[in-house]
Amino acid sequence: MSKEGSFIGEVAGEKIFFAYKGNNITGWILIVALPYNAIMAGANKTIGVIAVIDMLLMIMVIAVIGMLSSRIIIKPLKDIIGVMQRLENGEQKARVVVKSRNEFAVLGRQFNRLVDIIEEYAGELQEKVIKRTKEVGLLQQENIRLRVIEEKERIYEDLHDSLGARLTNIFICNNVAKTVGRKSNFKLKDMLERIGNNCQLAIKDLKEIIFSMQYSDRVIIDFSKFIVFNIKKRLGPKNIAFDYRITDAEELNSSGRGIRFEIEKLLQELVSNVLKHSNAAKVLLELSISDSGLNIHFSDNGIGFDFQKEIKQGLGLKNIHNRVDRLKGEIKVSSLINAGSDFIITIPLKMS
């Protein structure tokens, strides 16, 4: 046993605190015993007071932190959110009020700058939209003007191709009638009937051009025979032989009204060129359908022409090229002086 120390024990069921110390001179040991609960009563009271004070301090710290966070963090955030809502409601001049120099002040200034940039960009964009709208309006007006011009050109071409062809026939028949008038009254009567028929056809063509929808009412039982009949009727008064080879007639009959109309006008113009300029004795027409579309081969054995000169001066050739271009087709023309003329035309039926 050491010379001094302490321990806790029980005496008669009560907890006792013992403290002892030895005397080196006498050899005695001094022992002091006190009830443990009496010793700890004061300490427990002090601990309770300290705990209460600690709790109060914690509450105060939490309250101070809450106040500081509300002032430093929550309020600036609410202000920024409020400005956002005002902007969303259409108040374009709403901005964050910046009074401090902390991080939220920096955030507020950056937010205001962003809003200013957006407002400036929106103004520029609005000006561009107004400018583009005006430009689109001008383009639409120009488009309408060009479409009117294009429609005028189309009507002019149709008038030239249809009425021009009829009037050419009338002119030829009239010349023939003058020539044979002195020799044969029967031949003169036939020529006069041809002139009358051509006048009626010219009037009908004019109606079809002006009221283009009426053209769809024409029923073509055999379009190839219809073409051959018209060409023979026009070439006959000048005694020009006509040979033709037409394949895929049924498929040609089932082609659209638009493509049949264009084929008829193309052939009318080609025949008119022969009657006016070629002095040909024979004309050949070949029509066929392949994967590339409708193939038209038209040739004569006349005096030919200078292609470069005629394409600049001759309205008929221009009309032919315009029709082919409008149908996204291709055309090849070859002609030599005193060696006839040859036209090869390909038109894609699907696009037509």
The predicted-structure confidence for 56-77, as pLDDT tens digits, reads as follows 999 998 888 877 776 667 777 7
Residue-wise over 73-112: b if at least 16 C-beta within 10 A, else e? Answer: eeebeebbeebeeebeeeeeebbbebeeeeebeeebeebb
352, 299, 301: which is closest to 325 by C-alpha?
352
Residue type for position 194: R
Q: What is the pLDDT of residues 279-329, one digit of tens each?
A: 899 999 999 988 888 999 999 999 888 766 665 655 567 888 888 888 889
**Residue with the two structure tokens 């084929």:** 263
CA-based R_g, the chain, Å: 55
What are the residue ranges of CATH 3.30.565.10 in the chain?
Answer: 221-352
Give the residue, 285 or 138, on which the prediction is more confident: 285
CATH of domain 221-352: 3.30.565.10
Q: What is the pLDDT of residues 240-253, one digit of tens each?
A: 999 999 988 888 87
pTM of the complete model beyond 0.85: no
SS3 (DSSP) at 211: coil
Residue type for position 244: Y
